[in-house]
Structure formats: C-alpha cells, structure tokens
Amino acid sequence: MEIMKEKPRRRSISELLDWRCLTECKSIIAGNENSYGEDNFLKDCDKEPETRRRKRSGTWPRTRSLNAPSPFHKFGPCGRIMKNSVTVMTIQDPASQRLTWYKPPISVLVIKKVRDTSVLPPFIQLVTWLIEEKQMAVFVEASVLDDPVLARDPRFIKIRDRLHTFRDGTDLQDRIDFIVCLGGDGTLLYASLLFQQSVPPIMAFHLGSLGFLTPFEFDNFQEQVTNVLEGHAALTLRSRLTCTITRKSEEGQPGESSTTLLVLNEVVVDRGPSPYLSNIDLFIEGKHVTSVQGDGLIVSTPTGSTAYAVAAGASMIHPSVPAIMITPICPHSLSFRPIVVPAGVELKISVSPDSRNTSWVSFDGRNRQELFHGDSLKVTTSVYPVPSICAADQITDWFDSLAECLHWNVRKRQKHLDELSDLAHSSSNDTLDSLDRDS
C-alpha cells in the first residue's frame, strides 16, 4: 500500500518575511550567510504568530523608505522645475514611525464592545491588571458601571469604585495618555469619534467579528501592553477627514458652519428614503468636476478603503498612502469609476439645483442628517490622525488583515502538470487534438 505523504503547509507572506528578517539578522551576528538552515526556518514558522510578532515588535530592519523617492528636478538638457517660495514639507518615512513617551503614561481609557458578554471576562482581567499591577488611572464609559452582568461579578465589584467615568469626548481631552480597545473595528471608530482633535495612541485587541483594524490577540496581553508602555511599538498614522456642513441661510446665502466632524473611515452622501436618484454636484478645489447620479457617493480615507468603499467596487489603499478616495454608489453610468485624489485637496459636495430630492449624509455610520438644496459639505484631510499601534509593522499587519479578514486572493491551487494523471502518462509530442481523437 502506498503511503500518502502529507503536503507541506503553505507559508504566508508574513511568515516568509519573518524568515528573511531572521536570516539576515543571524547571518550578520554569526558572520556566515549560510548559518541559518531550513530546519530552523520551519521551526520558527511553526511557532505561534504572537511569539513571532513579539520577536520582531516592529523592528524590521528596512533598507528602503515606504515613501516614493524624491523625483529628479531636471528634465533633459534645458527643462527643470521652477523654484518658488512655497514651503517644502518633509514627510517622515512611515516605516520609521515608532511610539515614544516623553513622560510615563498614567491614565488609560478602556473601550469594550457593547452588548457582548464574551468580552466581559477579558475586560475585567485587563482593568484589574492595569489598576493593581501598573497603578494606572483607568477610565471607562459610565454605562459600564451600570451593566447588570458586571454588577454581579465579585471580581468587578472589588475594582468598581476605583474606575473613572466621563461624560463625552470633551471631558477626555488632555486627560488620557493611552487607549485600549476590546472588540471589533467599531470600538476603534468610537475612539476616533470621542477625540475630535489629538488622539492618544490606540492598542486594539481582536475580540469582535471582523477585526481588520484590531491586530492584537488577547492571549498574553500583559507582555504586549508592557511592551507598548515601555515604548517598544511601531505606529500606523491613520489619516482622518475633516467634514464641515454649511447650511443655507434664510436669505439663500451660505450661512455659518453648523457641523464639523472628523471621520476615520468615510463620509457617505446618499438618497436616503427617496425613490429618486441622487443628483449631487462634486467640486474639487472649487472646480466643478462632475454630477453624481446614482444612489450616492462615498468619500473615504485609505483606512476606509477596505470598508464601505471596497464593497462598492473601490480599490484597497494602504493606510500610509496620503490620499482621498471618491467612490460612487451604484452610479447610473457604466463609465463612472472610483478615483483617488491627493490628500491635500478640498472637496465640496452639494445637492444639485436640478435634483428632485434632498440627500442624507452620515459620518462613519453615525450622526446621520439631511442635506437640503443650498447646503454644502466640505471634506479635506485632517491634521489629527489616529495613531494605531502595530502588532508587527505597517506592512505585515495590513497584509495579514487582508488575508485573514477579507480572504484576499484566496483560491484553490492550480494543479501541476505532473498531478494530472491524463497528461502525466502521455508523451511530450501529444497534443490536445490527438488526445481528443483517442478518446
């Protein structure tokens, strides 16, 4: 009887990158390029992902910047870019963005997923450890203290009086040094909503449904949080959008700004409950670009490109890319494709004067309100990003999320020719036509 050999496990992108990184480091130390064998490679790859992530902890020795190279300013014998007095902006390499504390953090905000009892044991365990072991001031939502399930837990009763609560986001400004999220992507979006200006560093644990923005596993959370508190962590600066609604005054002229919100994922303008198509005018830097006729329009950040936008047919953009994505929702035109514009432009969206109905706007799925004729919505990139702490680094975390959460490019492996029994026994001179005749 023929013994079937077990097929070797396919290695992921992050595992291959880990192997290359470890190989280079050990070769330099040992002074021998061949000192790291295949057996050690397989042993490292079979370790738990958390162990390998802690080993690297964002210290991958990169030799190239994630930013594009500075372009050459001379074109041919005569042409060159004209010098001007505009200030040149220096952009830091995203791969070198690392967290540092200029003083030890003493306060932490813990945000947990609501209406999910499975999050309560990790929440109690984390909060107790932060208070008793790290001697930190822990802030939670006021509704947490009123949770009937927590109120009956003896472990929570011991620390209940040592927790701090807050009223809203304005009550937290300049009081929080560090944020820990327990849940899914919604907890990170809620943290962004609470801080409409500067945002403390956020460490997100995956205890929710999807977890695209939550790279940390809760196992061994003590060591992971300790590493962050000691400043051993890489950062991904997730850009946000500043959205300002200007209402029409009674005289028909633009009035004062009534709403200004910062969003992490996207701002959506749609037709709401109306059966008619949306008719929305889109301006970029004051120039009328197009009129959107369809179900609506999505303006998203690179972080939001993997949310509503990707479901509407947009491309996925790495969060370190400075850009704004504009995606139509079910446009009444086959040629209306999503576009990407520079991060610094200002967009203006308004209801077209010829529109049969008004429009509705929502910000990260919240604060939904109606846009009337004469109202306008201005959108541009905010100067206040969300500093998201990486489990490994900016590249590995993103591609791991694509593979694990969205199953990006997952398909059955194409068989090798040697695995096809009908071709393996045929001669190299056989053709498909001859095989058809023989059959």
- Identify the top-confidence range among 61-65, 163-167, 242-246: 242-246
Q: Does 366 lie in the same domain as 246? A: yes
Domain-located, residue 370 = yes
Of 213, 234, 255, which residue is a domain's last?
Answer: 234
Answer yes or no: is pLDDT of 50 > 50.
no
Residue 64 above 70 pLDDT?
Answer: no
Shared domain for 252 and 363, answered yes or no, is yes
The per-residue pLDDT for 89 is 58
Q: What is the DSSP letter of 171?
A: G
In a domain, 36, yes or no: no
Whole-angstrom CA distances from 64 to 16, 67, 285 are: 18, 9, 33
What local confidence, expressed as pLDDT, does residue 235 receive? 92
Domain boundary among 214, 234, 254: 234
Position 41 pLDDT exceeds 60: no
Q: What is the predicted pLDDT for the residue at 45?
A: 46
CA distances from residue 368 to 282, 306, 375 in whole angstroms, order as listed: 20, 21, 15
Range among 28-37, 252-261, 389-398, 413-422 rated most confident: 389-398
pLDDT of residue 85: 66
Instruction: For CA atoms 185, 191, 195, 199, give the dihedral sign.
Output: negative
Confirm if 238 and 364 have CB atoms less than 8 A apart: no
Q: Is residue 46 part of a domain?
A: no
**pLDDT tens digit sequence for 210-240:** 889 999 999 999 999 999 999 989 999 999 9
* 130-177 pLDDT per residue, tens: 999 999 999 999 989 989 999 999 999 999 999 999 877 777 888 999
Residues 219 and 249 in one domain: no
Helices (H), 160-248: 185-194, 221-229
Distance, CA of 374 to CA of 248 (rounded, Å): 5
Whether 163 maps to a domain, the answer reads yes
* Together in a domain, 224 and 292: no
Tell me how many degrees the CA angle 148-152-154 measures, rounded to the nearest 5.
145
Q: Does 245 lie in the same domain as 224?
A: no
At 240, list the tokens.
């946000």
For 268, residues 6+ apart whose C-beta sits below 8 A from its C-beta are 296, 297, 298, 299, 308, 329, 361, 362
Phi, psi of 220 (to 5 degrees): 60, 40
Q: Are residues 266 and 228 in the same domain?
A: no
Residue type, 163: L
pTM of the shown model: 0.79
Amino acid 181: pLDDT: 96
What is the per-residue pLDDT for 88? 57
Q: Is 59 exposed, middle or buried (0-12, 13-18, 19+ CB in 10 A)?
A: middle
Greater pLDDT, 328 or 10: 328
- In a domain? residue 135: yes
**Same domain (yes/no): 168, 197:** yes
Contact between 316 and 364 (Cβ < 8 Å): no
Q: State residue 261's pLDDT score.
A: 95
Asked if residue 274 and residue 378 are part of one domain, the reply reads yes
- Helix, strand counts (H, E) of the chain: 13, 21
For residues 385 and 237, is the Cβ–Cβ distance under 8 A? yes
Considering the domain architecture, whether residues 296 and 368 belong to the same structural domain is answered as yes
**What pLDDT is stored for residue 16 in this prediction?**
46
What average pLDDT score do residues 277-301 get?
96
pLDDT at 424 > cutoff 80: no
DSSP code for 17 = H
**Does residue 56 belong to any structural domain of this protein?**
no
Higher pLDDT, 432 or 291: 291
Q: What is the CATH number of the domain that holds 135?
A: 3.40.50.10330
Is 428's pLDDT higher than 70?
A: no
* Range list of β-strands (E), 184-322: 202-206, 235-238, 241-248, 254-263, 266-270, 278-284, 287-294, 296-300
The CATH number that applies at residue 257 is: 2.60.200.30
- Taking residues 175-204, what's their average pLDDT? 94
Residues with Cβ within 8 Å of 265's Cβ and at least 6 positions away in sequence, in order, are: 189, 300, 301, 303, 304, 307, 308, 364, 365
Q: Is the pLDDT score of 191 beyond 50? A: yes
Which amino acids are annotated catalytic? 185
Indicate the pLDDT class of residue 115, thresholds 50, 70 and 90: confident
| Residue 345 in this model has a pLDDT that exceeds 70 | yes
Instruction: Indicate the angle between helix axes 38-45 and 13-30, nearest 10 degrees.
Output: 130
What does the pLDDT read at residue 335?
Answer: 95
Examine the pLDDT at 342 and tell me if it is beyond 50: yes
Are 185 and 156 in a shared domain? yes
Mean pLDDT, the chain, integer: 83
pLDDT at position 96: 80
Q: Is the pLDDT of residue 13 over 80?
A: no
What per-residue confidence (pLDDT) applies to 433? 58
234, 260, 288: which is the final residue of a domain? 234
Task: Report the C-alpha gap between 300 and 379 in whole angstroms.
Answer: 10
- Token pair of 349 as six digits: 């969206």
**Is residue 69 situated within a structural domain?**
no
Residue 277 lies in a domain: yes
Nearest-angstrom CA–CA distance, 207 and 323 = 30
User: Quick one: 365 and 260 in the same domain?
Assistant: yes
Tell me the backbone φ, ψ of residue 243, rounded to 5 degrees. -115, 125
Which residue type is seen at 146?
D
- Overall number of domains in the chain: 2
Higher pLDDT, 74 or 345: 345
Task: List the domain range (segments joined by +) for residue 268.
Answer: 240-383
pLDDT band, residue 417 (cuts 50/70/90) = confident
Mean pLDDT of 94-114: 90
Assess whether 340 and 358 both reside in one domain. yes
User: Which pLDDT score, from 0 to 100, does residue 427 have?
Assistant: 53
